[in-house]
Homo-oligomer: A and B are copies of this chain.
Amino acid sequence: MTTIYDIAKKANVSPMTVSRVINNKGNISEKTRKKVEAVIQELNYIPNYAARSLNIKKTKILSLVIPDITNPFFTKVARGAADKANQLGYQLMLCNTDEDPEKESGYIDALISKMVDGVIIAPTGNQSKKNLKKLVKNKIPFTLIDRMIDDLPCDMVLGNNHEGTRELVQHLIDRGHKKIAIIHAPLDISTSKERYQTYVETLKVNDLSFNENLVIQAHYKQEEEWDTINGLLLLPEQERPTAIFAANNFIAINAITTLRNKNIRVPEDIAVVCFDDLEPYSNFDPFFTVASQPAYDFGYMGTQLVIERVEENGPSEYRKINLQPTLIVRKSSNAFIE
């Protein structure tokens, strides 16, 4: 391994001069700079960040903590985060929590230990608060994306869950649906709570009765065996829903798969809509009616915001950025009800 000492010796200067050249810091004569640069080239020198980090306490590493990269929403978030990070000279570490606060806690410890400069995180829920406080204590800036948690000193990039849900549910109502079920995630996740609340509200605004038998709590996870939906299917005929609002894309996939296995047709027998798109495939065989969120921007902006904190050039007040969803109507909600 080549070090600045090797360079220094060969270039007949002190290690300090080499360091200055590398970091473009302080005044150096054009002549020595050229000389040093030549030797750096020649010896293929690459600086050692571990050593630098030990001094300056910065690693140029960020971490993206998300439930599951396999969820197309988060896939795009990750791409956005990676792009912005790269653009600004950072590396991005990936952590999948699978919605498990324990797992999240383990990752946070590892990240602190590895001295990452900042974290972009979609927390597992309110239980994440204690994990995030560890970041605060260690002075590691973070931005919350997609999911909000109160009273934390951080920027946030959030979607408009009210708007998206309202559009989705209203769309179903406009098509004549009166018995609309919701399948949501635990309510300590802000997106889940907001989507649930707006579902209730939208029914009310339309003078539709709320039936708690049509409310099912599940998880934002893709699952093989999924009998969650049975509660809905076993309802007496007059109560059984004609439409389902799935609180995210994975829930919609679980629902569709299960319904298909039971030979229940979508949308003929039951309509299904959901939050978050399923790109890139949603485009070529348009199926799901969704409230599509600008996933890439969640990652891209979230990363932009942490980096500003890391480099201490952000505004003093924490920011809360809101990104709008877009309703995209496709086949899965096609049927009209008289």
Within 8 A of B (CB), among A5-57: 44, 46-51, 53-54
Within 8 A of B (CB), among A243-271: 253, 256-257, 260
> Which of A92-100, A187-195, A209-217, A306-314 is found at the contact surface with chain B?
A92-100
Q: Which residues of B contact A48 (CB under 8 A)?
A: 54, 113, 115
Are B109 and A46 touching (Cβ within 8 A)? Answer: yes
> Complex formed: what's the CA distance from A83 to B98 in Å?
11
Given A1-B138, A94-B78, A222-B280, verify A114-B253 contact (CB < 8 Å).
no
> Which of A165-173, A227-235, A283-291 is found at the contact surface with chain B?
A283-291
> Complex formed: what's the CA distance from A310 to B48 in Å?
18
- Does A75 sit within 8 A of B, measured CB to CB? yes
- CB-contact partner of A94 in B93, B110, B282, under 8 A: B93
> Complex formed: what's the CA distance from A64 to B94 in Å?
10
- 1/0 per residue, CB under 8 A from B, across A135-149: the answer is 001100000000000
Q: Which residue of B lies closest to A92 (CB)?
A: B94
Show 11 A/B contacts (Cβ-Cβ < 8 Å), sorted by A.
A44-B137, A47-B113, A49-B113, A50-B53, A70-B79, A82-B95, A91-B111, A93-B93, A94-B94, A253-B280, A285-B287
